[in-house]
């Protein structure tokens, strides 16, 4: 039943949002990766999952906000059971390191999808939070792959569930790694620049 719901949800995203994916800097291969994307809509996660081939989805876990995706049984079911998401507490109410559930998955060889801005925006890509840097430092063998998402904030405007018929484009870039002595701010600036550059195709 869960597999059927997952297939239906992904089909609807592709049908209603267009969700065209272009692998420009790497191929969809079974490597451990941290896909990092800009965040403009509640269906960003679904669009990135839909861009992956079915063989990679079971071991690729979107990182989702507990306060949104855990706010109802239906949302939690879709996020955790259908999309293999890991829910994190953005409020910092608990003493446990919020990155630990992500580290646990990476230690098992799984891959992640994260949104380093930390919250949705409708304008330019915002500054990145430090989580991407800390994960990159702790798991240097994981490829960091930028994913630029275009038009989803127009297809599903903030505050509404009324879809606007436009085409959503995802451009997946070349993997990057954090330098041995690279400072946090320098790395986050570089990672953000690589993601933004994907929005200017040649």
| pLDDT over threshold 70, residue 18 | no
Could you give the CA distance from residue 149 to residue 164 in angstroms, rounded to a whole number? 16
Sign of CA dihedral 30, 31, 37, 42: positive
Q: Confidence class of residue 133 from pLDDT cuts 50, 70 and 90? A: very high
Could you give the CA distance from residue 188 to residue 164 in angstroms, rounded to a whole number? 33
Share of the chain above pLDDT 90, in %: 45
| Burial classification of residue 96, based on how many CB atoms lie within 10 Å of its CB (0-12 exposed, 13-18 middle, 19 or more buried) | exposed
| pLDDT over threshold 90, residue 56 | yes
Output Rg (C-alpha) for the chain, integer angstroms: 16
Do 43 and 156 contact (CB within 8 A), yes or no? yes
Q: pLDDT tens for residues 74-93? A: 888 888 888 889 988 876 55
Fold category of 2-197 in CATH: Glycerol-3-phosphate (1)-acyltransferase (3.40.1130)
Q: pLDDT tens for residues 151-180? A: 655 555 555 555 555 567 889 999 999 998
β-strand 20-23 against 169-172: which pairing, if any?
parallel
Kindly state the DSSP code that residue 129 receives in the 8-state scheme. Answer: P
CA angle 60, 98, 89 (to 5 degrees): 90
Domain assignments of the chain as residue spans, ordered by start: 2-197
- The predicted model gives 117-144 an average pLDDT of 88
Residue 63's pLDDT is: 92
User: In terms of Cα–Cα distance, which of 172, 193, 194, 196 is closest to 24?
Assistant: 172
Q: What's the mean pLDDT when you consider all of the chain?
A: 83
Cα dist from 164 to 5, 63, 82, 110, 158, whole Å: 23, 26, 25, 34, 12
Could you give the CA distance from residue 173 to residue 191 in angstroms, rounded to a whole number? 11
């Amino acid at each position: 039943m869960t597999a059927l719901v997952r297939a239906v949800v992904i089909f609807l995203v592709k049908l209603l949002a267009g969700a065209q994916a272009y692998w420009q800097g790497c191929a969809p291969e079974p490597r451990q990766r941290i896909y990092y994307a800009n965040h403009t809509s509640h269906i960003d996660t679904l669009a990135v999952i839909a861009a992956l081939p079915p063989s990679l989805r079971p071991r690729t876990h979107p990182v989702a906000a507990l306060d949104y995706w855990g706010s109802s049984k239906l949302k939690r079911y879709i996020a955790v059971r259908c999309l293999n998401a890991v829910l994190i507490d953005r409020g910092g109410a608990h003493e446990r390191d919020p990155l630990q559930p992500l580290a646990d998955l990476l230690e098992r060889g799984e891959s992640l999808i994260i949104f380093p801005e930390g919250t949705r925006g409708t304008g330019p890509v915002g500054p990145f939070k430090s989580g991407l840097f800390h994960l990159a430092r702790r798991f240097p063998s994981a490829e960091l792959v930028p994913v630029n998402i275009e038009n989803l904030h127009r297809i599903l405007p903030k505050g509404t569930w009324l879809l606007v018929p436009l085409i959503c484009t995802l451009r997946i870039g070349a993997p990057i790694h954090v330098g041995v002595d690279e400072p946090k701010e320098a790395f986050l600036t570089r990672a953000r620049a690589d993601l933004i550059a994907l929005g200017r195709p040649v």
